[in-house]
Amino acid sequence: MNKVLFFEKAVVPTFYLFARLVRNNLGQNRSSLHSKSPNGIKVIFSFQPQ
């Protein structure tokens, strides 16, 4: 249960912030989004418990 609580506290806010950054990048410059997006997604999914 502790792992689930940690997962929610650590990953959910991180994903929320990342989603806001993606939304801002979409509004400003689409070209740089492609270079930043895959790394950001890898970082988020690396937090998931195996």
What's the rounded Cα separation, in Å, for the pair 33 and 13?
20
Percent of the chain with pLDDT over 90: 0
Decide: helix, strand or coil at residue 17: helix
State mean pLDDT over 9-28.
Answer: 81
Is 44 in contact with 11 (CB distance < 8 Å)? Answer: yes
Higher pLDDT, 29 or 26: 26
State mean pLDDT over 10-29.
Answer: 79
